[in-house]
Structure formats: structure tokens, C-alpha cells
């Protein structure tokens, strides 16, 4: 029981307070890859904690042992014993419901998001095959269109696509920077990251950690790609490329209060922040590891504690006293 | 069928520009002016395009006469519409270099960028 409560509290705190703390932090801009890893770890951690909380409520983990079959049998016995008392059966049912619904919902929405992305990519690739010309010098596809845009697609061929308007708007050095940026997206499999965060945000709408991870990871992948572009070009060149392509004829979205993501990127490019020192990176990497393993450790605490006990704790007294 | 990619684009190009339905033979005759091609190759490509929904066809004797299902502008608009979509609709299928922002915002940011460049220049 206490394990379940601890895990549930951990999940709620992580999903709310954790998200707030991470969103307010300024270090992710200085180490965007680490920022992305931390958001993913926080999301996975709170999700796992909620599922394990439900599991801990319904099935008291027997003592740790390497006998997997024995472990399963003991778990089943515990599950059945859980239904022995009315209070126990209520707890067990709630626990199972929570674990299965949270875990199932997350899995379902992730699969749906991935499938949706794949099918849209396939459709776009089909249209590109007939609409676009391959520019072998650039190693990219060019589409005849009046609005400047550059984008990349995952999927077959992993093409980078530019419109004729974009080619006209960019100076040669800017073009090189833009291509380097897009290649960084493809190398880093950023489509997958964005799809995953979107899937979880759709799975649990309104939950701060998933909603914020979705927004922040999208910004951070652009920063990772901007950094890659800066390795081959001057930051001012990348910045002017950003502005050249942000100026378009397509209908623009209304700006939310505060800085637009374009402004954030430009500010970051114009006054490059000092990268995080190795000691801070080490601490943050440690944080990511803690986040990933914490739910499992918390769930395993009673099992570890029971490792010394050599009898099966299913006697009536043991059941009522050790809840 | 990546080998056919350019050929599919070339065939669609001709049909869009001719604005009249054409047979495989007519398309082949035009394409072979640029490079040697077999009739069966062009036939396969046009058949594929029909299967994918880009071409419609009507029987004319023993052959088919093909025409585009939709004009080029419609496909381009649909593709670019998805590409430039509101970030809320973002499916994650493609990653755009930068989203479009209102012209007033662009002017403001460009001024800031130029000011920063001037400051750098003066420091040198």
C-alpha cells in the first residue's frame, strides 16, 4: 500500500512540479540534447511510476528471486489473495484498472501517432515523386512554389525539400547552413522524438509534463539542428537564414504572448550562451538516470526488504498487518 | 520504384503542360527526344501513376488515353499546406526549418539582427 502511494505521489509530483521546474530552467538552451533527454526521462518516469503504482496496489511483489516462473506463480497467488477481503479486492481492482488503463492508453496513443506519421509521410513522398525535381548538386528535392519553405521528411530516401521561392530567398552560405540544419534533423531521428512527445500529449491531455515536453522538445530539436548548422557556418549566417525563411506568404499563426520560437532561436544564435561545463553535464546526466530508474527502485523496495524473509507472506495475519 | 521517380515526374510534367489526354505512345515519343526509353518502361510508369491515383484513363481502341486526375497547383497547394500547417496540427511527418511569422514581427527581428551586426562591426 505504501509503495503504491509513494509511487503515485512521485508520479503526480513529477508530472506537475517536475514539469514546472524543467520548463523554467535556463540550462536546456545551453545543452539542448541533454534537455531533450531530461524531458523524455521525466515523461517516461512519471508514466512508469503511475503504472507501477497501480501494479503495486494490486499485486504485492514477492521477494526478489531469479526464479521467473516462481515469481509469476507468487504474483498470481498474491493477486488472488488480494481478492480475499472486500477492502483488498477493491484495492486490487483499482490498482489493476489504473495500471492497465494508463499503460494501455500510453501504448495505444504512441502506436497511433507513429502510424499516423508514417502514413502521412508515405502520402507526401508519393506526391513529391511527381511534383519535385531532384537537384543533384544540392542533394535535395526542389518544388515550384511561391512561398519560401524548407523541410525534411523521414521515410524512404529521407529527402530534404526546398521551394523555388526558398532558393531565391537564400544566399549560397545561408543555403549551406539550412541544408546542414535539416541533415542534423535526419541524423538525430528528430521526427521520432517529436512523434513520441506528441503521442503522449494526446494520450493524457492537460497533464503538464506531457504537454510541456511536446512544446519544449519541438523547440529543442530546432536548437540542436541550429548548433549543427553553426559548426559549418557563422551563427549570423544561420540567423539570417532563419529570418529569410520566416518571412513568407503563407498564413501565419497568431503569436502567443511572449517571445515567438523564432525570436528565441535568433536570440540564441546572436549571443551564443556558454555551453554547460562538464561537471554540470555530469550532474544532469545523473539526474536523467535517477529519473529512469526511480520508479523501478521504489516499486522493488518491499521485494528487496522481503528478500530476508524465507516464508511465503500469505498467512492472514501477514496479509492484514503488512498492507 | 525509386528508379522511376524522375520518370514519373517527367510524365506528369508533360501531361500537365499539354492539357490534353495522351496515349503512352505520344508520351514516349516526346520523352525519347531526351533519352532512349522502351515502350514498356513508359507503359509501366503510366500504369503505376494510374494505380496511385495521379492519372485517369479511358480506353481508346486497344490503348488507353491518360489525363491527370488533378492539376499541379492543387497537389502543390495540398503538400505545401500540410508543410506550412499551424504547429498545433503538426503531425511530425516533416520538420520545417522555420515557421512563418507575421510581417511586422519579421521587420522587428530583422532590425534587431542588423543592429547586432552593426555593433559587432563597430567593435572590430
Q: Which residue has the higher pLDDT, A249 or B96?
A: B96
List CB contacts of B13: < 8 A, sequence separation 6 or more: none
pLDDT of the residue at B74 = 87
pLDDT at B1 exceeding the cut of 60: no
* CB atoms B8 and A152 under 8 Å: no
pLDDT at A243 exceeding the cut of 50: yes
Mean of pLDDT values over B92-116: 86
- The strand pairing partners of B66, in sequence order, are B22, B57
Does residue A200 contact residue A110 with C-beta atoms inside 8 Å? yes
Question: Running DSSP on this structure, what letter comes out for residue B2?
Answer: G
Q: Judged by CB atoms within 8 Å, which residues 34-53 of B form the interface with A?
A: 49, 52
Annotate B13-38 with DSSP letters as a single string: HHHHHH-S-EEHHHHHHHHTTTS---
pLDDT of the residue at A63 = 54
pLDDT of the residue at A112 = 94
List CB contacts of B30: < 8 A, sequence separation 6 or more: B14
| pTM listed for this prediction | 0.84
pLDDT of the residue at B101 = 84
Does residue A131 contact residue A109 with C-beta atoms inside 8 Å? no
Across the interface, which of B79, B97, B98 has its CB nearest the CB of A127? B79
pLDDT at A322 exceeding the cut of 50: no
Q: Which residues of B touch A241 (CB under 8 A)?
A: 97
Angle between helices A32-58 and A278-305 (to 10 degrees): 10
Q: Give, in order, the Cα–Cα distances in Å from A58 to each of A81, A103, A313.
A: 10, 15, 15
What number is the ipTM of this complex? 0.78
Mean of pLDDT values over A149-174: 92
Q: Which residues of B touch A181 (CB under 8 A)?
A: 97
pLDDT at A169 exceeding the cut of 70: yes
Q: Which residues of A touch B79 (CB under 8 A)?
A: 124, 127-128, 131, 143
Sheet containing B55-60: give its strands across.
B22-23, B63-68, B55-60
Mean of pLDDT values over B77-90: 69
Q: Which residues of B touch A142 (CB under 8 A)?
A: none
pLDDT at A254 exceeding the cut of 70: no
Q: Which residue has the higher pLDDT, A138 or A74?
A: A138
Across the interface, which of B75, B105, B112 has its CB nearest the CB of A127? B75
pLDDT of the residue at A318 = 42
Looking at chain A, which residue has its C-alpha nearest residue B68? A130
Q: Judged by CB atoms within 8 Å, which residues 196-225 of A form the interface with B?
A: 198, 218, 221-222
Q: Give, in order, the Cα–Cα distances in Å from A195 to each of A6, A16, A51, A112.
A: 31, 22, 22, 10
Q: Does B74 touch chain A (CB under 8 A)?
A: no
Tally Cβ neighbours within 10 Å of residue B45. Answer: 23
Highest mean pLDDT among A252-256, A269-273, A314-318, B94-98: B94-98
Average the pLDDT over each of A53-57, A234-238, B19-23, B87-91 and give the range with the smallest value: B87-91
pLDDT of the residue at A319 = 43
Q: Give, in order, the Cα–Cα distances in Å from A91 to each of A12, A56, A95, A109.
A: 19, 10, 6, 27
* CB atoms B95 and A178 under 8 Å: no
Q: Which residues of B touch A252 (CB under 8 A)?
A: 99-102
Q: Which residues of A touch B97 (CB under 8 A)?
A: 149-151, 178, 181-182, 241-242, 245
Q: Does A263 touch chain B (CB under 8 A)?
A: yes
* CB atoms B76 and A144 under 8 Å: yes
pLDDT tens track for A78-109:
777 767 777 777 888 888 999 999 999 999 99
pLDDT of the residue at A320 = 41
- Nearest Cα neighbor of A323 from A38, A106, A58 is A58
pLDDT of the residue at B82 = 76
Amino acid at each position: 500500500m505504501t509503495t503504491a502511494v509513494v509511487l503515485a505521489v512521485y508520479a503526480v509530483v513529477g508530472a506537475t512540479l517536475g514539469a514546472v521546474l524543467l520548463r523554467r530552467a535556463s540550462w536546456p538552451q545551453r545543452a539542448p540534447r541533454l534537455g531533450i533527454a531530461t524531458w523524455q526521462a521525466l515523461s517516461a518516469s512519471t508514466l512508469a511510476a503511475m503504472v507501477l503504482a497501480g501494479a503495486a496496489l494490486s499485486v504485492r511483489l514477492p521477494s526478489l528471486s531469479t526464479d521467473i516462473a516462481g515469481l509469476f506463480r507468487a504474483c498470481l497467488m498474491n493477486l488472488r489473495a488480494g481478492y480475499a477481503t472486500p477492502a483488498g479486492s477493491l484495492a486490487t481492482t483499482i490498482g489493476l484498472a489504473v495500471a492497465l488503463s494508463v499503460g494501455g492508453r500510453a501504448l495505444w496513443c504512441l502506436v497511433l501517432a507513429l502510424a499516423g506519421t508514417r502514413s502521412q509521410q508515405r502520402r507526401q513522398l508519393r506526391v513529391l515523386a511527381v511534383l519535385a525535381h531532384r537537384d543533384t548538386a544540392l542533394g535535395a528535392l526542389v518544388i515550384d512554389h511561391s512561398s519560401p519553405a524548407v523541410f525534411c521528411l523521414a521515410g524512404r530516401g529521407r529527402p530534404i525539400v526546398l521551394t523555388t521561392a526558398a532558393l531565391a530567398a537564400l544566399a549560397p552560405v545561408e543555403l549551406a547552413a539550412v541544408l546542414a540544419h535539416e541533415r542534423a534533423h535526419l541524423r538525430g531521428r528528430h521526427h521520432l522524438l517529436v512523434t513520441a512527445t506528441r503521442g503522449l500529449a494526446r494520450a493524457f491531455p492537460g497533464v503538464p509534463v506531457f504537454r510541456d515536453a511536446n512544446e519544449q522538445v519541438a523547440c529543442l530539436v530546432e536548437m540542436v539542428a541550429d548548433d549543427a548548422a553553426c559548426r559549418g557556418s557563422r551563427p549570423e549566417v544561420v540567423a539570417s537564414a532563419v529570418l529569410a525563411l520566416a518571412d513568407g506568404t503563407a498564413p501565419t499563426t497568431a503569436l502567443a504572448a511572449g517571445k515567438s520560437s523564432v525570436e528565441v532561436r535568433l536570440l540564441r544564435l546572436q549571443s551564443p550562451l556558454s555551453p554547460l561545463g562538464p561537471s554540470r553535464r555530469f550532474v544532469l546526466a545523473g539526474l536523467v538516470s535517477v529519473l529512469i530508474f526511480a520508479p523501478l527502485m521504489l516499486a522493488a523496495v518491499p521485494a528487496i526488504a522481503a528478500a530476508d524473509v524465507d516464508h511465503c507472506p500469505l498467512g492472514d495475519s501477514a496479509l492484514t498487518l503488512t498492507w | 520504384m525509386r528508379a522511376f521517380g524522375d520518370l514519373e515526374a517527367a510524365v506528369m510534367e508533360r501531361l500537365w503542360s499539354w492539357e490534353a489526354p495522351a496515349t503512352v505512345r505520344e508520351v514516349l515519343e516526346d520523352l525519347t527526344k531526351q533519352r532512349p526509353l522502351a515502350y514498356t518502361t513508359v507503359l509501366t510508369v503510366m500504369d503505376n501513376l494510374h494505380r496511385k491515383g495521379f492519372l485517369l484513363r479511358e480506353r481508346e481502341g486497344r490503348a488507353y488515353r491518360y489525363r491527370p486526375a488533378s492539376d499541379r497547383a492543387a497537389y502543390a497547394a495540398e503538400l505545401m499546406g500540410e508543410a506550412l500547417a499551424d504547429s498545433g496540427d503538426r503531425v511530425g511527418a516533416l520538420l520545417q526549418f522555420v515557421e512563418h511569422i507575421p510581417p511586422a514581427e519579421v521587420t522587428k527581428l530583422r532590425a534587431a539582427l542588423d543592429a547586432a551586426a552593426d555593433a559587432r562591426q563597430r567593435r572590430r
